[in-house]
Structure 1
């Protein structure tokens, strides 16, 4: 795979020089986006001091690029744009500058556990991409900005333990993606807006120790904290609340255990925590289902840290599901790579009915699977409404390079080489930067486990030799990668009706080269097709790599 990685990178470098994306990358090395830089400097100017002389803001100067400043993370696709500002627990004193609203690509703002004061600037409503807003444990005063509803991508909002006053804006009810809203330990007054009852995704609502009154909106199965509000009631009689104890109460921590299958010590999450994280494994949180179980999205709130996650629940009634759980644990226990999905925690327990329960918890990938970006939904598949389903040629190259790097790592740089055995578009996940992450190691094998007996082949992707019980080898993954590459750049699935018997996807591409190459250029590449010669050279090279992988 190492040679394939090099070849793909060379194609990428050659081709990307034609387009604006290359210029954007060069710009990031030549000073970056002035708007974000000036906004950060304005934020720094409002921070009067670092308590205890931590001087954490000293890196914020012209000697280094602002993407290298402490607490600043920039986009890898738009490298001059700030996507994450994390200054939590830095003993900072001051106020939040209105210029925060100029960081228009910001997705996460984490300022908790400092000493910020004054009002929350209304310019925060300009952050349309913002998903996580953590301002808890500060001294912010004034009221909650009404235009926070403009941040329509918000998932987590935490204003707890401040000095906020006024009423809860009814506009909060417009945040359709909101899953957690925490407002404990403030001085907020008035009625709880009925509009909060419209938030079907809301799983956690913290209102303890305020001066609120009236009824909680009647929504079922929510984690709601209302203690310390003497005139606030839990809604109608049939409201199914789980009322939390006051934050002063002791809280059950995750138990640290050593799983023999994982080898290393890992924090294991409880069944109850996953039940809350996924809103009782609700259908609204269901992302998809596979051979051995179902996958849910959720918010895991452990140790005062809310995190977007994906929960893979194994159907242990299915033959091979338990073995798949163990295989995935074994494969993931020691591997770390930017193009592999990251496992956060694991659950091996029993449910409330006494049945065995096994689940794996992964980091959430905003843009779903590569399959969703390559093909229109069929049957009962649903469109994901938060991302346009269009990938440029350069983006496809970047994704392919990421997958190739992941396989190269698994095959050649792990202590014990791992063979994935089930590489396909649905097992390639894309984060908010469209960076590829290989997932689903339920069929993975170590090279010391050579037999392919028992591997459930994915039609169209698995090498034919596995069907005959041949030994597991790196070549099987290389074959999978070749099919994936051809699918990405032709738009054809290997299982399309046009294929069958001896006529398959790689034969189709092989026959089309070189004379009918233009016929394989999809509508996705209209923009790039203005420079037709580079397109032909690029696609021809990619197709030849794909064919070489499967032959």
Structure 2
């Protein structure tokens, strides 16, 4: 009976409450309609989150939705983070009046943040970071008076920080980082009495730091770096005793650090004031700041000595590089002994200062966790202390440009994890120790400009990961070890110049297939050049001058198609100047002076311009261009020479006839075997079928005169296609012939065929057909035939190697701002098609200027799909792809996104990164591999640091000289650089998500310039 009574009471109360809510108009139907309106604005839902948002279940059970039982199932939380949703946020969000938590981070929401959010008076958590929101921060968000957490980080917001936000007295975390916000930091933020975290780095904020921030007594994290802030740090900031992290790097802040810094900020763990204009000394009081973990004062103008650091036991990162610290006295480095107490130390960076004296022996007792130890460009002398081998986790040791003496300590050979060792430009003596061969992880070794003696130990041949080796300007002698020249990993440069090496150049030099620069000049090498040099197919710089080489230049050198700087002067070479030098299309510095060459100086190629060549000291040369002022060549008379030529031609003709008859048999047999393969590997719907002989004829026997480019897997020739069947009539084409001896070339051919099989777009290079056959010797032959692009590649226009064909309509490097913008739109449109409009999304994987071709109207066409990948196939082919080194390469250095280097799979985001770098290069004129860029500076950060106030300083001078109205031009450049920065962010999550948005923005910029 009692139980029945209780049930009746509950039933009565439920009915009563229902009557009250109906009468008063209070219903959760508003929430359901608001959620449906939010769903309607979602354009892409890859994980199917919205599929549960339907009428088959109550909305409180929809994915990401949480309701309260106390308020008749009203929505209190909407959590859709990390779902890759694409669309905009509906203004109906403001109707969820009971909402306490809105978490939409890590999606692709775009357009403006609806101001209706200001109606959510109960809202406590607002998390919108890592999206594509644009426009202003709504000022009426200040009406959400219960907010404790608010993050807009990593979007595309513009405008100023609303001062009204200063009224949110309960706000504890306020994140604005990585947007495009401008204006000053509002002083009203000093009223946020509960604030613990303020992160606004990576914007365009200017002005000074308001002193009112010193009122935030609970503030523990203050990050306002990478802006345009100026002035000094208000003294009130140094009284924030709760402060644990203080980041103001990359601004223009000046002044001195207060002497009592260590006392007033007792909880400070991280201080980063790098890349500013601070002067004065490091305060002595930091010796009492025992909580420090990161201490980064680099790139300022600090002076004096480094104070005692004995109590900084928790220190992990210590960076004071690029200041004026040190007094030039022997006790400058005593603080290094103090750091032996820091058992967690990972980075110790003190380069580019005025430190003198000797390294204390106690450095052998530094933390075994030490990863990076830099002290280059100081005045440090004495010997390198024994005991360095104790630093077992060291990966980078840079001690160059000091005054070190003595030998290289043997225990350096114990640093098995060392990737970079630089002890160049010192006064070291003794020999190169064989124990260095134990450093099997080494990638870069610099020992140049010392007094090292003896031979190169053959143990250096154990460096299977070595990319750069520089032993120049020492007193090394003996023969060059074949083991060193056999290091196929060497890919950047090998410099052995200015020593006393003897003997011949080992034939193993041909194993350096990926090497970019080889310098063995100013030694005592003898003999003829080995024919194996043709294996160095990637060489761009070859310096052989100042030796005793003799004989003719071997014909094998004609394989060095990428060469741009060739110096063979001051040797004993003889014979005629090779005609194939004319075919080196990138060669712009040829020095053959002081040899014994004779005969005619060619007049084409590099020989067209007398300033590109040096031929002095060869007294038997004649002819050449007029600027060389050489005597005319005498024509031989008499019939004897003609008879001799006739005999030679006759003998050669008969010999070739015999060879061709023998080979024809094998060719016929092989062609039968290959016939099925041809039908399989050519494109699905080719306009025409071509044979090997047709392409041979079209390119004049693949003549060097028709060579227009050299790539990773083959060569590209200009040709005139005139099919034997009369189907085509003098069609100008580009023929890409694959070097099938190169690992991965066959896979690249197949990949390109697959990618181009069914895709058609006006901004993709047009493929005419493919050829998979055999040549006249029975060898496999694969080639692709493309429509010829009259204006070559974008690379040639941005970085002209010299004279470009006079037939072109425009001068090189003279693309104005609008022409460059048009080409950028063309490239982005091509990527948009590949990513979003193909049946299977395609990732290009190798976007760079040399792979963007220009037709006669300067329309950009994306080319070279040899590394392209189909997204659905990634999981199936990734493992096998990585097994082949050539196909495992996912692009070109400088344009490859960082995550690829860490093993991540290729992705659409990777192409977006490459496009961002390409865009920045087009409008700055600087390659991402420019010498000015180092570990601390790349093209992305170079532009970001100058954005937006100094963009004229970094823009290509040609862009600034001509084009549109100056005001419009600056607005145009600002918008373009903003897009380039957003696309080329280091982290994929920070980048623009879809190239389609880039196309839309670029077209809007172009429209505004008309």
TM-score (normalised: structure 2): 0.29
**CA deviation string 1:456-479 (max 9, x = no partner):** 431100111112221221101100
Alignment of 1:248-397 (within 5 A): 259-261=679-681, 264-266=684-686, 267-302=688-723, 303-304=725-726, 305-377=729-801, 383-387=804-808, 388-389=811-812, 390-397=814-821
Paired positions, count = 308
What is the SS of the residue equivalent to 2:976? helix
| Structure 1 residues 341 and 530: alpha-carbon distance in aligned structure 2, compared to 1, 3 A threshold | closer
Does the 8 Å contact 1:262/1:330 carry over to 2?
no
**CA deviation string 1:277-301 (max 9, x = no partner):** 0000000000111111110001010
Does the 8 Å contact 2:818/2:963 carry over to 1?
no
| Structure 1 residues 322 and 382: alpha-carbon distance in aligned structure 2, compared to 1, 3 A threshold | farther
Instruction: Give unpaired runs (5+ residues) of structure 2.
Output: 1-85, 88-110, 112-604, 606-645, 654-674, 883-887, 986-1010
The runs of at least 4 consecutive aligned structure 1 residues that moved more than 4 Å come to 236-241, 255-258
Instruction: Give unpaired runs (5+ residues) of structure 1.
Output: 8-199, 201-235, 242-254
| Structure 1 residues 298 and 482: alpha-carbon distance in aligned structure 2, compared to 1, 3 A threshold | same
Determine if the alignment matches structure 1 residue 490 to structure 2 residue 910.
no
Among candidates 848, 851, 872, match of residue 448 of structure 1: 872
- Residue range with higher mean Cα deviation, 432-441 or 303-312: 303-312
Alignment of 1:11-90 (within 5 A): none
Determine if the alignment matches structure 1 residue 548 to structure 2 residue 944.
no
Could you tell me which residue of structure 2 aligns to residue 157 of structure 1? none
What is the SS of the residue equivalent to 1:331? helix
Deviation, structure 1 residue 521: 3.0
Alignment of 1:424-463 (within 5 A): 424-450=848-874, 451=878, 453=882, 454-463=888-897
C-alpha separation in 1, matches of 2:931 and 2:902: 24
| Structure 1 residues 514 and 301: alpha-carbon distance in aligned structure 2, compared to 1, 3 A threshold | same
Could you tell me which residue of structure 2 aligns to residue 523 of structure 1? 957
| Structure 1 residues 399 and 274: alpha-carbon distance in aligned structure 2, compared to 1, 3 A threshold | same
C-alpha separation in 2, matches of 1:277 and 1:256: 24
TM-score (normalised: structure 1): 0.52
C-alpha separation in 2, matches of 1:308 and 1:462: 33
Could you tell me which residue of structure 1 aligns to residue 95 of structure 2? none
Could you tell me which residue of structure 1 aligns to residue 915 of structure 2? 481
Deviation, structure 1 residue 455: 2.5
**CA deviation string 1:133-181 (max 9, x = no partner):** xxxxxxxxxxxxxxxxxxxxxxxxxxxxxxxxxxxxxxxxxxxxxxxxx
RMSD: 3.1
C-alpha separation in 1, matches of 2:683 and 2:796: 35
What is the SS of the residue equivalent to 2:796? helix
Deviation, structure 1 residue 523: 2.5
Among candidates 483, 487, 512, match of residue 946 of structure 2: 512
C-alpha separation in 1, matches of 2:830 and 2:806: 28
Does the 8 Å contact 1:256/1:268 carry over to 2?
no
Determine if the alignment matches structure 1 residue 422 to structure 2 residue 846.
yes
Deviation, structure 1 residue 449: 2.4
C-alpha separation in 2, matches of 1:382 and 1:291: 24
Does the 8 Å contact 2:682/2:771 carry over to 1?
no
What is the SS of the residue equivalent to 2:734? strand
Does the 8 Å contact 2:683/2:770 carry over to 1?
no
C-alpha separation in 2, matches of 1:316 and 1:292: 8
C-alpha separation in 1, matches of 2:834 and 2:852: 15
C-alpha separation in 2, matches of 1:401 and 1:332: 21
**CA deviation string 1:35-76 (max 9, x = no partner):** xxxxxxxxxxxxxxxxxxxxxxxxxxxxxxxxxxxxxxxxxx
